[in-house]
């Protein structure tokens, strides 16, 4: 439902269907549906937190107070705080066209530097073996075998898997960049079978009057027939059709991220792994194990899609230059490594 904030009688300040204006601007900028949902959610919370006053009547003091309450009362992380700030800045700059001389007064929260959770090769093998064979287990193997992010895997299209070149094209990854990752040889037959299942489902959907998938950015306008073509269908389609929140049309989206997240968590528990491993831990493990095997860090950077090699260098903490590769001074003491009596 669109929200029309109160204006307290301010002439010209009324902005009917403000959240619809936000959505329109976000789609014009080709932001993802997840960003759209997050930004509209934060803007709605900001307006309600300020007595439904129009954002044009608010400024740095209200923004600062809102972010402070998120931290002190909501106990949100620095990243969440910064996302809320980004949503409000988008509202003022892109939607309301308001100059922000007070912007410099609002300080972004400092994001803590955390080491990634990395599984050993033995732990990865245990995790995958503990997952029942099927779609989620296949996707988990693909995460570890390619280093893809969770959503990059879920958003794969049938045409993105190139068996001839033994590679997978990851399209519109983080930063809206395309890249290529290796296609694990051990998954070729299973992915080929998954392609056929996806295409069979697509043919069945066409008979039901559906079979048209969401296309990114302006492709739907540029290639109006592409949304119904087999190659554009999701490699991992959802079991159910659903309504696209952007167009209102019924179609088949990809598998929900929660499906794979829950499967990884359950597999971790069955495998007896005490590390708080998630889907992203398989990406971390992919990078770390490649570096351990002697692959060049620049190659790993390209495979991960990192803009800056400094981001990739965090994985060197498990190599000979990291803590795990050092011999502690305690262990250098005479008799320190002798077996206990």
* Residues known to be catalytic: 149, 174, 280, 283, 306, 315
Task: Report the C-alpha gap between 48 and 33 in whole angstroms.
Answer: 23
Helix, strand, coil percent values for the chain (each to nearest 5): 55, 5, 40
Q: How many CB atoms lie within 10 A of CB 41?
A: 14
Contacts of 9 (CB under 8 A, 6+ apart): none
The region, left, alpha or beta by phi > 0 then psi within -120 to 50, assigned to residue 30 is left
How far is the first Cα of the chain from the last one, in angstroms, to the nearest whole number? 72
Residue 123 CA: distances (Å) to CA of 71, 120, 134, 165, 268: 36, 5, 20, 30, 9
- Which of 68, 69, 65, 59 is CA-nearest to residue 91? 59
- Which of 282, 212, 285 is CA-nearest to residue 246? 212
Phi, psi of 161 (to 5 degrees): -95, 115
Task: Report the C-alpha gap between 259 and 134 in whole angstroms.
Answer: 12
Q: Which residues pair with 169 in a beta bridge?
A: 180
Helix axes 121-130, 135-146, angle to 10 degrees: 160
């Amino acid at each position: 439902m669109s929200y029309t904030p109160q204006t307290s009688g301010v002439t010209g300040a009324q902005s009917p269907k403000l959240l619809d204006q936000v959505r329109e601007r976000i789609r014009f900028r080709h932001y993802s549906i997840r960003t759209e949902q997050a930004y509209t959610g934060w803007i709605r919370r900001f307006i309600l937190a300020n007595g439904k006053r129009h954002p044009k009547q608010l400024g740095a003091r209200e923004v600062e107070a809102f972010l402070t309450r998120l931290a002190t009362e909501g106990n949100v992380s620095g990243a969440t705080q910064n996302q809320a700030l980004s949503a409000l800045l988008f509202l003022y700059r892109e939607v309301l066209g308001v100059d922000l001389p007070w912007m410099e007064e609002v300080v972004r929260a400092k994001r803590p530097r955390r080491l990634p959770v990395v599984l050993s090769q033995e732990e990865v093998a245990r995790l995958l073996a503990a997952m029942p064979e099927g779609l989620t287990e296949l996707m988990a193997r693909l995460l570890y075998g390619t280093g893809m992010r969770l959503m990059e895997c879920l958003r794969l299209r049938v045409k993105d898997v190139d068996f001839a070149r033994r590679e997978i094209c990851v399209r519109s990854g983080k930063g809206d960049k395309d890249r290529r990752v290796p296609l694990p040889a051990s998954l070729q037959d299973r992915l080929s079978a998954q392609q056929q299942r996806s295409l069979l489902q697509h043919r069945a959907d066409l008979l039901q009057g559906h079979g048209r998938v969401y296309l990114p950015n302006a492709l739907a306008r540029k290639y109006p027939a592409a949304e119904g073509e087999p190659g554009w269908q999701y490699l991992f389609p959802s079991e159910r059709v659903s309504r696209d929140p952007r167009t209102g049309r019924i179609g088949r989206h990809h598998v929900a991220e929660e499906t794979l997240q829950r499967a990884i968590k359950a597999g971790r528990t069955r495998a007896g792994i005490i590390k708080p491993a998630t889907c992203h831990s398989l990406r971390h493990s992919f990078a770390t194990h490649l570096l351990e095997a002697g692959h060049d860090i620049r190659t790993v950077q390209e495979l991960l899609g990192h803009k800056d090699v400094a981001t990739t260098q965090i994985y060197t903490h498990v190599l000979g230059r990291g803590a795990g590769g050092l011999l502690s001074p305690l262990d250098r003491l005479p008799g320190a490594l002798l077996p206990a009596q």
